[in-house]
Amino acid sequence: MQSRPANREPFFHSVHIVWDEVGDPDTFPYSIPAIKKMGRMNLHPAVTFIIGENGSGKSTLLEAMAVRLNFDESGGDANANFEVRPLDGGLHDAIRIQSSLYRRPGDRFFLRAETVFNYASHIDREAIEDRKFIQRYGYKSLHARSHGEMFLAIVQNRMKAESFFIMDEPEAALSPTRQIATLKEIDWLVRTGCQFVIATHSPILMAYPDSIIYELSGDGIRQVEYEETEHYTLTRSFLEHPKAFLKRLLE
Ligand SMILES: Nc1ncnc2c1ncn2[C@@H]1O[C@H](COP(=O)(O)OP(=O)(O)OP(=O)(O)O)[C@@H](O)[C@H]1O
Ligand SMILES: [Mg+2]
Protein backbone atom coordinates (compact mmCIF):
# COMPACT_ATOMS: atom_id res chain seq x y z
CA MET A 1 0.00 0.00 0.00
CA GLN A 2 1.38 3.41 -0.90
CA SER A 3 -0.05 6.87 -1.14
CA ARG A 4 2.70 8.52 -3.22
CA PRO A 5 3.49 8.26 -6.97
CA ALA A 6 5.43 5.01 -7.48
CA ASN A 7 8.29 6.69 -9.35
CA ARG A 8 8.90 9.57 -6.98
CA GLU A 9 12.59 10.34 -6.61
CA PRO A 10 13.84 10.48 -2.98
CA PHE A 11 15.70 13.63 -1.84
CA PHE A 12 18.41 11.38 -0.45
CA HIS A 13 19.20 8.01 -2.02
CA SER A 14 21.72 6.35 0.27
CA VAL A 15 24.17 6.60 3.16
CA HIS A 16 27.63 5.05 3.35
CA ILE A 17 30.91 5.42 5.23
CA VAL A 18 34.11 6.44 3.44
CA TRP A 19 36.44 4.12 5.35
CA ASP A 20 39.57 5.86 4.00
CA GLU A 21 38.57 8.91 6.05
CA VAL A 22 38.23 6.96 9.28
CA GLY A 23 41.18 7.46 11.64
CA ASP A 24 41.00 4.52 14.04
CA PRO A 25 38.22 2.06 13.16
CA ASP A 26 38.52 0.46 16.61
CA THR A 27 37.39 3.57 18.50
CA PHE A 28 33.87 4.94 19.03
CA PRO A 29 31.72 5.27 16.95
CA TYR A 30 33.30 2.81 14.49
CA SER A 31 33.63 0.28 17.29
CA ILE A 32 29.81 -0.07 17.37
CA PRO A 33 29.35 -3.46 15.62
CA ALA A 34 26.57 -2.29 13.26
CA ILE A 35 28.61 0.76 12.21
CA LYS A 36 31.80 -1.30 11.81
CA LYS A 37 30.04 -3.58 9.30
CA MET A 38 27.95 -0.91 7.62
CA GLY A 39 27.77 -1.04 3.84
CA ARG A 40 25.70 1.28 1.64
CA MET A 41 22.25 1.80 3.10
CA ASN A 42 19.65 2.70 0.49
CA LEU A 43 16.99 5.10 1.73
CA HIS A 44 13.32 4.59 0.93
CA PRO A 45 11.53 7.40 -0.98
CA ALA A 46 8.86 7.55 1.76
CA VAL A 47 9.95 6.16 5.15
CA THR A 48 13.16 4.40 6.24
CA PHE A 49 12.90 2.84 9.71
CA ILE A 50 16.06 2.18 11.74
CA ILE A 51 15.49 -0.39 14.48
CA GLY A 52 17.68 -2.40 16.85
CA GLU A 53 18.42 -3.05 20.51
CA ASN A 54 19.27 -0.27 22.94
CA GLY A 55 22.85 0.75 22.24
CA SER A 56 22.93 -0.72 18.72
CA GLY A 57 23.87 2.66 17.20
CA LYS A 58 20.60 4.15 15.90
CA SER A 59 20.99 7.60 17.45
CA THR A 60 24.69 7.68 16.55
CA LEU A 61 23.82 7.07 12.90
CA LEU A 62 20.92 9.56 12.86
CA GLU A 63 22.98 12.30 14.53
CA ALA A 64 25.79 11.79 12.03
CA MET A 65 23.32 12.06 9.15
CA ALA A 66 21.76 15.17 10.69
CA VAL A 67 25.13 16.89 11.15
CA ARG A 68 26.25 15.88 7.68
CA LEU A 69 23.11 17.56 6.30
CA ASN A 70 23.78 20.67 8.43
CA PHE A 71 21.00 20.07 10.91
CA ASP A 72 21.62 20.96 14.52
CA GLU A 73 22.82 17.77 16.24
CA SER A 74 20.53 18.23 19.24
CA GLY A 75 17.35 18.50 17.18
CA GLY A 76 15.36 21.20 15.46
CA ASP A 77 15.88 22.86 12.12
CA ALA A 78 18.92 24.34 10.47
CA ASN A 79 18.21 27.74 12.08
CA ALA A 80 17.75 26.49 15.63
CA ASN A 81 21.18 26.66 17.19
CA PHE A 82 21.18 25.00 20.60
CA GLU A 83 24.90 25.55 21.06
CA VAL A 84 25.77 21.86 20.79
CA ARG A 85 28.55 21.45 18.28
CA PRO A 86 29.69 18.07 17.03
CA LEU A 87 33.27 17.05 17.71
CA ASP A 88 35.69 16.76 14.80
CA GLY A 89 36.42 13.20 13.77
CA GLY A 90 32.88 12.00 14.47
CA LEU A 91 30.89 9.73 12.21
CA HIS A 92 29.47 12.80 10.44
CA ASP A 93 32.93 13.45 8.96
CA ALA A 94 33.17 10.01 7.39
CA ILE A 95 29.63 9.39 6.16
CA ARG A 96 28.31 10.51 2.82
CA ILE A 97 24.70 10.94 1.84
CA GLN A 98 23.93 10.66 -1.85
CA SER A 99 21.45 13.38 -2.85
CA SER A 100 19.07 13.50 -5.78
CA LEU A 101 20.17 15.53 -8.78
CA TYR A 102 16.55 16.50 -9.41
CA ARG A 103 14.79 17.04 -6.08
CA ARG A 104 15.83 19.06 -3.06
CA PRO A 105 13.83 19.26 0.16
CA GLY A 106 12.15 22.62 0.75
CA ASP A 107 12.69 22.18 4.47
CA ARG A 108 14.32 19.72 6.86
CA PHE A 109 13.84 18.93 10.49
CA PHE A 110 15.42 16.65 13.09
CA LEU A 111 12.99 15.71 15.86
CA ARG A 112 14.08 13.92 19.03
CA ALA A 113 11.72 13.29 21.91
CA GLU A 114 14.33 14.30 24.48
CA THR A 115 15.04 17.70 22.92
CA VAL A 116 11.53 18.95 22.11
CA PHE A 117 11.75 21.09 25.28
CA ASN A 118 14.79 22.89 23.81
CA TYR A 119 12.93 23.40 20.57
CA ALA A 120 9.89 24.76 22.45
CA SER A 121 12.16 27.33 24.15
CA HIS A 122 13.59 28.25 20.76
CA ILE A 123 10.05 28.84 19.40
CA ASP A 124 9.16 30.97 22.46
CA ARG A 125 12.31 33.08 22.03
CA GLU A 126 11.60 33.56 18.33
CA ALA A 127 7.97 34.44 19.15
CA ILE A 128 9.15 37.49 21.12
CA GLU A 129 10.60 38.83 17.87
CA ASP A 130 8.07 37.52 15.40
CA ARG A 131 4.50 36.46 16.24
CA LYS A 132 4.25 34.21 13.20
CA PHE A 133 6.35 31.63 15.03
CA ILE A 134 3.83 31.15 17.81
CA GLN A 135 0.92 31.62 15.37
CA ARG A 136 1.96 28.36 13.74
CA TYR A 137 1.37 26.64 17.06
CA GLY A 138 -2.08 28.12 17.73
CA TYR A 139 -0.94 31.19 19.73
CA LYS A 140 -0.02 29.05 22.71
CA SER A 141 3.48 28.49 24.06
CA LEU A 142 4.63 24.92 23.50
CA HIS A 143 5.67 24.90 27.15
CA ALA A 144 2.00 25.18 28.11
CA ARG A 145 1.44 21.65 26.75
CA SER A 146 2.38 18.18 27.92
CA HIS A 147 5.44 16.46 26.43
CA GLY A 148 3.31 14.40 24.03
CA GLU A 149 1.06 17.36 23.11
CA MET A 150 4.16 19.46 22.46
CA PHE A 151 5.64 16.76 20.25
CA LEU A 152 2.46 16.26 18.22
CA ALA A 153 1.98 20.05 17.90
CA ILE A 154 5.43 20.27 16.32
CA VAL A 155 4.66 17.40 13.94
CA GLN A 156 1.29 18.91 12.98
CA ASN A 157 2.35 22.55 12.69
CA ARG A 158 6.03 22.71 11.92
CA MET A 159 6.30 20.07 9.23
CA LYS A 160 5.62 21.08 5.67
CA ALA A 161 5.20 19.43 2.27
CA GLU A 162 8.28 18.53 0.17
CA SER A 163 10.55 18.23 3.20
CA PHE A 164 13.04 15.79 4.72
CA PHE A 165 12.66 14.64 8.32
CA ILE A 166 14.82 12.68 10.71
CA MET A 167 13.07 11.46 13.87
CA ASP A 168 14.65 9.68 16.82
CA GLU A 169 12.14 7.59 18.82
CA PRO A 170 9.11 9.80 18.18
CA GLU A 171 7.02 7.35 20.21
CA ALA A 172 8.85 8.19 23.45
CA ALA A 173 6.37 10.98 24.28
CA LEU A 174 3.28 9.45 22.71
CA SER A 175 0.36 7.30 23.88
CA PRO A 176 -0.70 4.52 21.47
CA THR A 177 -3.56 6.74 20.26
CA ARG A 178 -1.17 9.61 19.54
CA GLN A 179 1.26 7.23 17.83
CA ILE A 180 -1.57 6.33 15.47
CA ALA A 181 -2.30 10.06 15.01
CA THR A 182 1.41 10.51 14.18
CA LEU A 183 1.16 7.72 11.58
CA LYS A 184 -1.66 9.68 9.91
CA GLU A 185 0.48 12.85 9.93
CA ILE A 186 3.42 10.94 8.47
CA ASP A 187 1.18 9.51 5.76
CA TRP A 188 -0.16 12.98 4.95
CA LEU A 189 3.37 14.34 4.70
CA VAL A 190 4.46 11.40 2.49
CA ARG A 191 1.53 12.16 0.17
CA THR A 192 2.69 15.77 -0.07
CA GLY A 193 6.23 14.82 -1.07
CA CYS A 194 8.12 14.26 2.20
CA GLN A 195 10.81 11.68 2.99
CA PHE A 196 11.52 10.35 6.51
CA VAL A 197 14.25 8.48 8.36
CA ILE A 198 12.90 7.29 11.73
CA ALA A 199 14.62 5.38 14.53
CA THR A 200 11.97 3.60 16.55
CA HIS A 201 11.14 0.80 18.97
CA SER A 202 7.40 1.17 18.29
CA PRO A 203 5.64 -1.78 16.61
CA ILE A 204 2.83 0.67 15.79
CA LEU A 205 4.98 3.18 13.89
CA MET A 206 7.11 0.61 12.07
CA ALA A 207 3.93 -0.97 10.63
CA TYR A 208 3.67 1.96 8.19
CA PRO A 209 3.47 0.10 4.88
CA ASP A 210 5.28 2.42 2.44
CA SER A 211 8.64 1.88 4.08
CA ILE A 212 11.81 -0.15 4.46
CA ILE A 213 13.05 -1.42 7.84
CA TYR A 214 16.76 -1.76 8.65
CA GLU A 215 17.85 -3.57 11.77
CA LEU A 216 21.16 -2.68 13.45
CA SER A 217 22.83 -5.58 15.27
CA GLY A 218 26.16 -7.29 15.85
CA ASP A 219 25.84 -8.68 12.31
CA GLY A 220 25.72 -5.20 10.74
CA ILE A 221 22.73 -3.52 9.15
CA ARG A 222 20.19 -5.69 7.36
CA GLN A 223 16.79 -5.16 5.83
CA VAL A 224 14.00 -6.98 7.66
CA GLU A 225 10.29 -7.51 7.10
CA TYR A 226 7.88 -6.07 9.64
CA GLU A 227 6.56 -9.49 10.70
CA GLU A 228 10.07 -10.79 11.42
CA THR A 229 11.04 -7.95 13.76
CA GLU A 230 11.30 -8.83 17.42
CA HIS A 231 9.11 -5.78 18.16
CA TYR A 232 6.27 -7.42 16.24
CA THR A 233 6.75 -11.05 17.31
CA LEU A 234 7.36 -10.32 20.99
CA THR A 235 4.55 -7.76 21.33
CA ARG A 236 2.20 -10.09 19.49
CA SER A 237 2.98 -13.15 21.59
CA PHE A 238 2.69 -11.06 24.77
CA LEU A 239 -0.66 -9.51 23.84
CA GLU A 240 -2.17 -12.78 22.59
CA HIS A 241 -1.56 -14.56 25.91
CA PRO A 242 -0.33 -12.07 28.53
CA LYS A 243 -1.04 -14.36 31.48
CA ALA A 244 0.72 -17.38 29.97
CA PHE A 245 3.61 -15.16 28.84
CA LEU A 246 4.09 -13.74 32.34
CA LYS A 247 3.69 -17.15 33.96
CA ARG A 248 6.55 -18.49 31.82
CA LEU A 249 8.64 -15.40 32.40
CA LEU A 250 8.22 -15.22 36.16
CA GLU A 251 8.34 -18.91 36.99
N1 LIG B 1 30.36 9.58 23.28
C2 LIG B 1 30.40 8.25 23.34
N3 LIG B 1 31.56 7.60 23.58
C4 LIG B 1 31.63 6.25 23.63
N5 LIG B 1 30.56 5.45 23.42
C6 LIG B 1 29.38 6.05 23.19
C7 LIG B 1 29.23 7.48 23.13
N8 LIG B 1 27.92 7.77 22.84
C9 LIG B 1 27.30 6.57 22.75
N10 LIG B 1 28.16 5.55 22.95
C11 LIG B 1 27.85 4.11 22.88
O12 LIG B 1 27.50 3.82 21.53
C13 LIG B 1 26.51 2.81 21.48
C14 LIG B 1 25.37 3.25 20.59
O15 LIG B 1 24.65 4.31 21.22
P16 LIG B 1 23.34 4.92 20.55
O17 LIG B 1 22.89 6.04 21.41
O18 LIG B 1 23.60 5.23 19.12
O19 LIG B 1 22.33 3.68 20.66
P20 LIG B 1 20.80 3.58 20.23
O21 LIG B 1 20.68 2.45 19.26
O22 LIG B 1 20.29 4.90 19.82
O23 LIG B 1 20.12 3.11 21.60
P24 LIG B 1 18.68 3.45 22.24
O25 LIG B 1 17.69 2.52 21.60
O26 LIG B 1 18.86 3.14 23.68
O27 LIG B 1 18.39 4.90 21.99
C28 LIG B 1 26.10 2.55 22.93
O29 LIG B 1 26.71 1.35 23.35
C30 LIG B 1 26.65 3.73 23.69
O31 LIG B 1 27.00 3.39 24.99
MG1 LIG C 1 18.88 6.22 20.62
Would you state the pLDDT for residue 86? 57
Strands 12-17 and 95-99: antiparallel
Q: Is the CB of 87 under 6 A from ligand 1?
A: no
Domains and CATH numbers, the chain: 12-114+161-172+192-250 (3.40.50)
Are 195 and 165 in contact by the 8 Å Cβ rule? The answer is yes
- The verdict on the CB of residue 67 being under 6 Å from ligand 1 is no
Ligand 1 pocket member 55 (CB < 6 A): yes
Give the torsion through C-alpha atoms of 30, 35, 37, 42, to 10 deg. Answer: -140
Give the pLDDT of residue 113.
73
Regarding the beta carbon of 91 and ligand 1, being less than 6 Å apart is answered no
- Tell me the best of 26, 28, 51 to mutate to test the pocket of ligand 1, counting ligand atoms within 8 Å of each CB and taking the most: 28
Per-residue pLDDT tens over the stretch 223-235: 999 999 999 999 9
Q: Whose Cα sits closest to atom 25 in ligand 1?
A: 54
pTM of the model: 0.91
pLDDT digits (tens, 9 = 90+) for 202-216: 999 999 999 999 999
Cβ of 215 closer than 6 Å to ligand 1, yes or no, is: no
**Which residue positions in the chain have pLDDT lower than 50?**
78-83
Confidence (pLDDT) at 83: 46
pLDDT of residue 72: 58
Ligand nearest the Cα of residue 51 is: 1
